[in-house]
Structure 1
Amino acid sequence: MPQLNPSPWFFIMLLSWLTFSLIIQPKLLSFTHTNLPTSKVQTTMKTSPWPWPWT
């Protein structure tokens, strides 16, 4: 099985990894969540039986 020359592919992988780590990731982590899951109150729905007309 022939092997690819790692020289150009390694540089592309390294450049994309650095771009993600240094530029994209800090921008994504700076977003704040508007609805935190811990601030929500769980409510239980009250269910009632269905009034079937034919019974």
Structure 2
Amino acid sequence: MPQLNPGPWYLTMVAAWTIILLSTPTLMKIKTPHQPKLTKNGAQKPTWTWPWS
């Protein structure tokens, strides 16, 4: 079985990681338009009703 030349594959991997690492801070700056808000008396969990229990 022939061996693959690691040169182009290594360059592709390094280029992909460079793009990912450089774009991460830019993507983290994006704010979603609907941020969750707390109610007046704090975060309340809804009560669950399970019909089979």
Instruction: Report how far residue 45 of structure 1 moved.
Output: 5.4
Tell me the residue number matched to 1:35: 36
* Runs of 4+ residues deviating >2 angstroms: none
Higher Cα Rg: structure 1 or 2? 1
CA RMSD, aligned part only? Answer: 2.6
Instruction: Report how far residue 26 of structure 1 moved.
Output: 0.9
From the two aligned structures, give the one with the greater helix fraction: 1
Q: Deviations over 1:6-41 (max 9, x none)?
A: 11111111011101101x2112211335127xx442
Whether 1:17 aligns to 2:20 is no
State the TM-score, normalizing by the size of structure 2: 0.56
Instruction: Give the paired residue count.
Output: 44
Whether 1:8 aligns to 2:8 is yes
Q: Structure 2 unaligned runs (5+)?
A: none
Q: Structure 1 unaligned runs (5+)?
A: 47-55
Identify if the C-alpha distance between structure 1 residues 41 and 7 changes in structure 2 by more than 3 Å, giving closer, same or farther.
same
SS in 2 for 1:31: coil
Tell me the residue number matched to 1:50: none
State the TM-score, normalizing by the size of structure 1: 0.55
Q: Identity rate of aligned residues, in percent?
A: 33
